[in-house]
A and B are shown apart, each in its own frame.
Chain A
Amino acid sequence: MSAIECLDLCKYFQQGDSVIKALDHLSVAFEQGAFVCLSGPSGSGKTTLLNAIGGLDELDSGEVRLDGQRIDNLSKSELADIRLHKIGFVFQAYNLIPVLTARENVEFVMQVQGIPAQERHEKANAILQEVGLLGMEHRLPAQLSGGQQQRVAVARAIVSKPKLVLADEPTANLDTRSMEKLMEQFVALNQNHKVTFLIATHDTRVMAYAKRQIKMVDGQIVADETR
């Protein structure tokens, strides 16, 4: 049994007269501990696939299983629970809750999970240190640069060591140095805790870290290479 199984996923959008196939009969599976890069031209369906796996969007057809459990037919509340406990997210654009400080954003998921304050603070401090944001933890998102916001989002996604991290363009706003640090953290988590990583990216520097590379075009997988 694979950790993630996608079977014949279809997701269509009506755009005027034409139909856009964001996912077109796509099937794929990932083992626990996989480190995967999704690449492909803009509009090829990377974000749509990540959303489907994260239970964020309804599909037109197909099945998604996490650890053998079908999630495409769960209620919103059950899905929320799965996301909360199993998945860390880094979204492509809008990542942080504007009224919460950097630290509170990092602690948000842990707090909803019900982790005690003491433990939360310690974990948040450690991760903020790792992503190089110590000293900025009391700033609101609006007072951080794009790259800093991105790092807060990454910190939040990995701080509670979920089984799966879905990251959409996590390095878009980062310079090479920060990008390398971030990828090293991902690799370490992947190796030490068998966290599965699915990273959608255009960035060839990021692809270099991948153990498996999937290329998408028009909602279909056109290449799938494992190194």
Chain B
Amino acid sequence: MMNQNLQIILRIAWRNLWRNRRRTTIMLVAISLGVWAMIFMSAFMRGMVDGMLVDGLNSLPGHIQIHHPNYVDDPNIENSLPEPNEQLRTVLDGEAVTAWSARVRVPAMITSERESRGVMLLGIDPEYEPQLGFGNSVIQRGRFVADPGEQGIVLGAKLLETLETDLGKRVVIMSQDPDNNVADRGFKIVGVFKSSVIADEEMFVFTGKETVQTMLNIPALVSEIAVNGQDARDVETLLQQIRAHDSPLQTTLPWYELNPYLGLMANVMDGFVLVFMIIIFLALSFGLVNTLMMAVFERVREIGLMQALGMKPTTILYQVMCETLILLALGLVIGNLVAVVTILPLMDGIDLSSVAQGLQMAGMSTVLTPSLTTLDFVLASSVVIVLGLLAGFMPAWKASRYRPVEALAKT
């Protein structure tokens, strides 16, 4: 019974849709365009935010970081913590951790023959570090830090330029030890790196962990232990495991507390995309309601006839809703397909470096890569179907309220 009704409803809805080809086509193009805009813009907005997240996480770096309790407020050499003990290492070497590194990270002054700059000196162990702190970067010339006892230094290309020095030349690094004595040391430049985040090139210099520990007189102490899990968005379990080893001398923080702005951005994104989609659809819905109203008004007589022949008002309502639904579904399919087709060629990323000075200052990558997520397709489809059916309800309701004799009397 229901099945038979559905069949006739669908048949009439489908044919009605194509009676006014021009009107339906225009509406279909409008819906498809709207859907395309929803997906396309979301992909780029998400891409931009993902890029900021990735860059942000890479230059933190580490999804989870262990510090001396005072380090976050005062990243001073005094606030160092011991290298991980046995128990903590079992967690760090476990499955949930993809990379970790214990490193010395101190503000320092770098001086070449011509220039001086303030930088962040990173004393690292190359066995652990590259997957973490060097994620955005590649060695351009020379080599990376070879071992924890490395005597040479690795600089960013940009810094090399400002210091007006070059590979193979010497620079002096100056910093403070825990007793506030000046500690300095000469280094030979053994490598130059490029980074997708230009700020990193100016900020970070790398050398061996043990070399820095010796220079600053902090044997077996580090500034931070950085840990990466499988997924930055899902670090809770790992966080709890590591926190179990916290002591008065060490405290553990996730990235979204280390950089609250980054955390906020990741959190509001879904809501932002949804609002954006709803706004696009609201613009569309005026046209949709109008079209459906016209379509229903033109068909007063046959709607009356169908009622006179024994079709229930609710069935008439479903039939008009069905028309709306078909229109929306077609628009969704076309819009989504066009979105995928237009986004896929851009998946390698769009290089913005020519216009990117501002972006770089904001700490963003110079390559914008769109991000296609299933969630956005689901969001767009839900917005279109739910709001579309709401918009279609009024005309459908109106159609179902026609009295058969009134409808038949119109000539």
Residues of A within 8 A of B (CB): 51, 54, 56-58, 76-77, 80-85, 87, 89, 91, 93-100, 104, 108-109, 111-116, 156
Q: Does B310 contact A (CB under 8 A)?
A: yes
- Which residues from A are CB-within-8-Å of B309? 83-84, 89, 108-109, 112, 156
Provide 20 A-B residue pairs closer than 8 Å at the C-beta atoms, listed in order of the A residue: A56-B408, A58-B403, A77-B313, A80-B307, A80-B313, A81-B310, A84-B311, A87-B310, A89-B308, A89-B309, A91-B308, A93-B408, A95-B305, A100-B11, A109-B309, A112-B309, A112-B310, A112-B315, A114-B1, A116-B4
- Which residues from B are CB-within-8-Å of A80? 307, 310-313
- Which residues from B are CB-within-8-Å of A96? 305
- Which residues from A are CB-within-8-Å of B302? 94, 97-98
A114, B4: Cβ atoms under 8 Å? yes
B310, A111: Cβ atoms under 8 Å? no
Those of B367-411 within 8 Å (CB) of chain A: 403-405, 408, 411
Q: Does B8 contact A (CB under 8 A)?
A: yes
Q: Does B241 contact A (CB under 8 A)?
A: no
Q: How far is the CB of B323 from chain A (nearest CB, A)?
A: 11
A100, B310: Cβ atoms under 8 Å? no
Q: Does B301 contact A (CB under 8 A)?
A: yes
Q: Does B22 contact A (CB under 8 A)?
A: no
Q: Which of B12-20, B271-279, B351-359 contacts A (4 or more CB under 8 A)?
A: B12-20
B405, A56: Cβ atoms under 8 Å? yes
- Which residues from B are CB-within-8-Å of A76? 307, 312-313, 403
Which of B8, B301, B305, B308 sits near A111, CB closer than 8 Å?
Answer: B8
Q: Does B5 contact A (CB under 8 A)?
A: yes
Q: Which residue of A lies closest to B3 (CB)?
A: A114
A99 to B295, CA, bound (A): 14
Q: Which residue of A lies closest to B401 (CB)?
A: A76
Which of A57, A84, A99, A115 sits near B310, CB closer than 8 Å?
Answer: A84
A112, B5: Cβ atoms under 8 Å? yes
Q: Which residue of B lies closest to A54 (CB)?
A: B308
Which of B8, B11, B310 sits near A83, CB closer than 8 Å?
Answer: B310
Q: How far is the CB of A90 from chain B (nearest CB, A)?
A: 11
Q: Does B267 contact A (CB under 8 A)?
A: no
Known: A93-B411, A112-B309. A51 touches B405 (CB 8 A): yes
Known: A94-B301, A95-B305. A109 touches B310 (CB 8 A): yes
Which of B7, B305, B403, B404 sits near A97, CB closer than 8 Å?
Answer: B305
B408, A94: Cβ atoms under 8 Å? yes
- Which residues from A are CB-within-8-Å of B306? 97, 108
A104, B11: Cβ atoms under 8 Å? yes
A112, B305: Cβ atoms under 8 Å? no
Beyond the given A82-B310, A87-B310, A112-B315, please list 7 additional residue pairs across the A-B interface where CB-CB is below 8 A: A54-B308, A56-B408, A85-B310, A96-B305, A98-B302, A111-B8, A114-B5
A111, B408: Cβ atoms under 8 Å? no
Q: Which residue of B lies closest to A75 (CB)?
A: B313
Which of A57, A83, A94, A111 sits near B4, CB closer than 8 Å?
Answer: A111
Q: Which residue of A lies closest to B2 (CB)?
A: A114
A89 to B307, CA, bound (A): 12
A97, B12: Cβ atoms under 8 Å? yes
Known: A99-B16, A112-B5. A56 touches B305 (CB 8 A): no
A116 to B8, CA, bound (A): 12
A57, B405: Cβ atoms under 8 Å? yes
A85 to B301, CA, bound (A): 22
Most chain A Cβ neighbours within 10 Å, of B15, B302, B308: B308
- Which residues from A are CB-within-8-Å of B315? 112
A100, B314: Cβ atoms under 8 Å? no
- Which residues from A are CB-within-8-Å of B311? 80, 84, 112
Q: Which residue of A lies closest to B17 (CB)?
A: A99
A57 to B402, CA, bound (A): 11
A95 to B405, CA, bound (A): 12
Q: Which residue of B lies closest to A57 (CB)?
A: B405
- Which residues from B are CB-within-8-Å of A95? 305
A104 to B308, CA, bound (A): 17
Which of B1, B11, B301, B314 sits near A77, CB closer than 8 Å?
Answer: B314
Q: Which residue of B lies closest to A78 (CB)?
A: B312
- Which residues from A are CB-within-8-Å of B312? 76-77, 80-81
Q: How far is the CB of B167 from chain A (nearest CB, A)?
A: 78
- Which residues from B are CB-within-8-Å of A100? 11-12, 15
- Which residues from A are CB-within-8-Å of B15? 99-100
Q: Which residue of A lies closest to B12 (CB)?
A: A99
Most chain A Cβ neighbours within 10 Å, of B7, B306, B403, B404: B404
Question: Which 5 pairs from chain A and chain B are nearest by CB?
Answer: A84-B310, A114-B1, A99-B15, A57-B405, A83-B310
A142 to B314, CA, bound (A): 28
Q: How far is the CB of B13 from chain A (nearest CB, A)?
A: 9
